[in-house]
Amino acid sequence: MQFWTAFFLILTFGIYLYIAWRSRVKETREFYVASQGVPTIANGAAIAADWMSAASFIGMAGMLAFLGSDGSVYLMGWTGGYVLLALLLAPYLRKWGKFTVPEFVGERYSDTVRFVAAVAAVVVSFTYVVGQMTGGGVVFARFLGLSAEWAVVVAAAVIFFYAVLGGMKGITYTQVAQYVVLITAYLIPAVAVAQKMTNIPIPQISYGSILAELDALRVEFGLDQFTEAFVGRPGGQLDVFLVTASLMLGTAGLPHVIIRFYTTKTVRGARFSAFWALFFISLLYLTAPAVGAFTSLNLLRDVDGATAQDLPEWIAPWADAGYVTLNNGGGLIESVSNSAASGADLIISNDILVLASPEIGGLPAPIIGLMAAGGMAAALSTAAGLLLVISSATSHDIYFRMVSKERASERKQMLVGRLAMAGAVVVAIFGGLNPPAFVAQVVAFAFGLAASTFFPILILGIFWKKANATGAAAGMLTGLLFTGGYMLYTLEVFGLSANEHVLGVSPEGIGAIGALVNFVVTVTVSTLTRPPSEHVQEMVESIRYPATRAKSSA
């Protein structure tokens, strides 16, 4: 198996690095928006790869395998948020025509708000990239036999190399290749397992036939039924709603996804990129529930009636890597969980189930190696986009616009941007070695922060002419502090102990409330203070209507 894993990883990494080398750039316009010359279908595939991070590839089906139907909050939130982004934000921001989200915010509101937005973009992207480093570490630690520390460092080095070398142009075409790899790696095992278990090679249809057996086994091992709603999350129905809303609003406000729509040639191209991206994304998202159900059933079948000595061979390597723990001293396994706090006989991390699904399903070694390459493609594609956001926010929005006052040369801007990426990688390595939760949950924290900072001021900036700089700055800061503070309060990070959830609201769901707080503060402060200038209000009018209509309504 290690031979095939190494073969696919070396082959795909070689392709990525070759594309990055051939696409290397020297100008900021190429580095940040690929000279706005990316074809529509290619941009759609790149958006899909950027979108489907390690959380989508590794974490989502793993969460479904343990949470059951309540894990669908990730499916509903991320896909629903994409529709919000495609309809309400992407075309208008592309028509405005700036490099970055903070640049739009700066021109729409003020340089002070630009600075707040740049800081928020860095915070959101740092949180998000930690999940990718964690996912990369899972792949390398298991399939190449590396320690967790070296696994994260190797993944970070590869990401840094091609992100720094090619900028947005290199990242775009690398992400197209990564999409092909990740979707192939995801679908082939899913189809093979579906055929093996149900004789129907269409996982989206065939997994319904195994749900009755799966529900019965889950109850036997102390888990909630896969099909039962509102039992997989401690906060129940309210938390399911809030997490879904937080993921939706956060999706629509993610800087690293929004910036992809700046790379098309036209506004029309941005709209069609959204269509192609949704198609490419749906291929994985419609398959994830089946992967979660099949993997959960195969896992429980493997341990049903087993003792420590009878466990299947696939468990031992994951136990050696630290992702599986046996607590019952060798007796009969009667309970299974993904949480050490549960005290179950067998503790299995969510993050390994998708990568282990070919092994659990008894598929051949080449498919197992391909799955590992797909997991790395998902982590690398998103991490590169996040590093570019950190780079652009630091060099373009803070250094170039506010420190050097637009006097820095192209070469100096590129240097600052690449140094910012290097710093981000170092911090992300530390976060990847000490993640506060599972991959999908860490990424959900980033979405919550984006929901409570960017989504309200972008929506109000486009659709409400009276939103002003004072209101936007107050709203963003309030949303960021409220949401980030609650996450720190309820998570075990930076040596702090975790506290009970208030009213059952999880840290993944607090972003929806943070967004509401942002909206209220921005509207209230904007109403009580001086409105934007006529020039700004005319610009807002112009991005929502054709030029002739904007003039007639002025």
**Kind of pairing, strands 336-337 and 324-326?**
unpaired
Distance CA(383)–CA(303), nearest Å, equals 36
Tokens read off for 482: 């409220």
Q: How far is CA 19 from the centre of its chain?
A: 23
Burial label for 92, CB within 10 Å (0-12, 13-18, 19+), is buried
Burial label for 462, CB within 10 Å (0-12, 13-18, 19+), is buried
Do the beta carbons of residue 318 and residue 354 sit within 8 Å? Answer: no
Of 477, 478, 499, nearest in space to 488 by CA: 499
Return the amino acid letter for 69: S
Distance CA(300)–CA(93), nearest Å, equals 48
Per-residue b/e over 285-316, b at no fewer than 16 CB within 10 Å?
A: bebbbbbbbbbbbbbbbbbeeeebeebeebbe
Mean pLDDT in residue range 305-314: 84
Do the beta carbons of residue 4 and residue 369 sit within 8 Å? Answer: yes
- Of the listed ranges 44-53, 311-320, 345-354, the one predicted with least confidence: 44-53
CA distances for 259 relative to 106, 186, 270, 293, 429, angstroms: 15, 26, 11, 35, 24
DSSP H helices in 199-233: 203-206, 211-220
Q: Is the pLDDT of residue 28 over 60?
A: no
Strand partners, 347: 325, 337
The pTM of the full predicted model, rounded to 2 decimals, is 0.83
Do the beta carbons of residue 515 and residue 482 sit within 8 Å? Answer: no
Ranked by mean pLDDT, the top range of 57-66, 187-196, 333-342, 418-427 is: 187-196
User: DSSP label at 332?
Assistant: B
Mean pLDDT in residue range 371-379: 83
Going by pLDDT thresholds of 50, 70 and 90, the confidence category of residue 554 is very low
User: DSSP label at 417?
Assistant: H
Helix (H) or strand (E) holding 346: strand 346-348
What local confidence, expressed as pLDDT, does residue 36 receive?
Answer: 55
510 vs 399, residue with greater confidence: 510
| Residue 240 backbone dihedrals phi, psi, to 5 degrees | -60, -45
Distance CA(454)–CA(466), nearest Å, equals 17
Average pLDDT, the chain: 83
Ranked by mean pLDDT, the top range of 5-9, 44-48, 107-111, 416-420 is: 107-111
Do the beta carbons of residue 112 and residue 446 sit within 8 Å? Answer: no
Helices then strands (H, E): number in the chain? 25, 3
Distance CA(183)–CA(211), nearest Å, equals 25
**Kind of pairing, strands 346-348 and 324-326?**
antiparallel
HSE on the CB side for 478, CA within 13 Å?
21
Burial label for 503, CB within 10 Å (0-12, 13-18, 19+), is exposed
Tokens read off for 508: 């993944």
What local confidence, expressed as pLDDT, does residue 166 receive?
Answer: 53
Per-residue pLDDT of 213-237, as tens digits, reads: 999 999 999 888 999 888 878 788 8
For 2-295+362-443, give the CATH class: mainly alpha
What local confidence, expressed as pLDDT, does residue 295 receive?
Answer: 92
Per-residue pLDDT of 75-98, as tens digits, reads: 889 888 888 888 888 778 777 766
Q: How far is CA 80 from the centre of its chain?
A: 14
Going by pLDDT thresholds of 50, 70 and 90, the confidence category of residue 332 is confident
Q: Where are the domains of the chain?
A: 2-295+362-443
Distance CA(353)–CA(138), nearest Å, equals 11
